[in-house]
Chains A and B, each alone.
Chain A
Amino acid sequence: MKKCLAAALVCLLVSCESNSYAPMVTLRMANARAAPYVRHAANPSNRRIEVEILQEGRSLFVSRCIECHTLPIIWYYRPSDWLGIIDEMAERSSLKPAERDAVVAYILAVRAQ
């Protein structure tokens, strides 16, 4: 019985594995459809900046959101929904406009993968 409970707990934890909620930023992500939302994204020479912006967006996403609630599943909402959600949450989480844009860029980049 105890082994079953332990196995169930391990399965639960594995199924809730954190990175699936906030995937790492990749170059592919930087090139994805979300790129137009990011300043300079259209120019390939600015790819490094795009990656930095996406990394900042991820960093903000995983730190500011969990101040009030656990991380939402990015795939659960459509890109158009995310824009409204982040606009609503930006004030509560004290996001500056540039930070808000970075979070949007990251989420849409993940969605576009």
Chain B
Amino acid sequence: MFKTNAAFARCFESWDFSTPVCFGIRYSIFGFLLWILPAVSAFAGARHFTYLYEAVTSPPGSVELENTITWAQTTGATRLDEVDFREELEIGITNHFQLGLYPLDWNYRHGDQENGFSYDGGAAELIYNLTNPVVDPAGIALYEEIKAGDRRFELESKLIVQKNFGPLILDYNATLEAEWAGDSLEENDGELQQALGASYEISPRVSVGLEMIHEFVFPGWRDQKKIRKFLHRPERGGTPPAMVRDRDCARASHKHCGRTRFSAPDNFRIRILR
């Protein structure tokens, strides 16, 4: 990760408006967000799920800008508020093929042990739709994401299965993620994630639904003990805490869990897509 800007960190740490520099920085950011959110909402397409991907791809020639803001709060031995920002440029290439570019993945962390902004890198994703979720028995799409950052490289593959029953959408994502980190990318981890969701569209603007995520972490692609070891080094990964980590951590001793920012289940996690 890039080094935290100390001036930024100080401003957000103290929430002190008296300093002109902090005042300017803070209001510039808020102003920027207020300026861009209404503008981008005109371009973004609708999504029925916040965490799951759908099997449908963008129409050819379309370009959409989608912003994702995720705020997660974790309390345990230490407290951490983390806000992740992700800007995606979604481009429809053909009827069945979509390209997504994430030039800016960054986050702000505020906690007992760390504060400040960091830039996590950029990513590109490719989605190829194989079958249609309405007329075929199941809509299937293949997803591949390549992410690179400072001393980090990730590959993420997904199998997306979706079925539409009128206004009801059932969605399943199986994700295999491989991550390399370190000065010479000598550290490697694997993750297997399964996610299941259901969404009911009340109107084109309003849907209600439920999503469940289950994740296995394989540090070094090896046995379970190293899962705890992985938890000791959260700085290696930029991925947000997931349910299985929380569960494993709850099983592990507090001595182990207390050292990591994945130490306790999130109090809450809010994601906004625009």
Contacts and interface: CB of A to CB of B under 8 A. Distances in A.
Q: Do A and B come from one complex?
A: yes
Interface of A: 12-13, 15-22, 58, 62-64, 66-71, 73, 93-95
A70 B139 CA distance: 13
Contact of A22 (B92, B134, B167): B134
Given A13-B165, A16-B167, A18-B166, A68 B46 contact: yes
Contact of B45 (A17, A68, A71): A68
Contacts of B132: 62-63
B59 A64 contact: yes
A17 B165 contact: yes
A67 B55 CA distance: 9
A94 B62 CA distance: 7
A68 B169 CA distance: 12
B127 interface: no
A16 B165 contact: yes
A57 to B, nearest CB: 13
Contacts of A16: 165-168
Contacts of B61: 94
State the majority secondary structure of interface residues on B: loop
B95 interface: yes
11 contacts: A18-B134, A21-B166, A22-B134, A62-B135, A63-B56, A64-B59, A67-B58, A70-B164, A94-B59, A94-B61, A95-B59
Contact of B134 (A12, A15, A66, A73): A66
Nearest to A65: B134
B201 interface: yes
Contacts of A62: 132, 134-135
Task: Identify which of B132, B165, B166 gathers the most chain A CB atoms within 10 Å of its CB.
Answer: B166
Most chain B C-beta atoms within 10 Å of own C-beta, residue among A58, A63, A93: A63
B172 to A, nearest CB: 15
Interface string B57-76: 11111100000000000000
B133 interface: yes
Contacts of A64: 59
A71 B134 contact: yes
B20 interface: no
Contacts of B58: 67
Given A21-B134, A63-B132, A94-B92, A71 B62 contact: no
Interface in B227-256: none
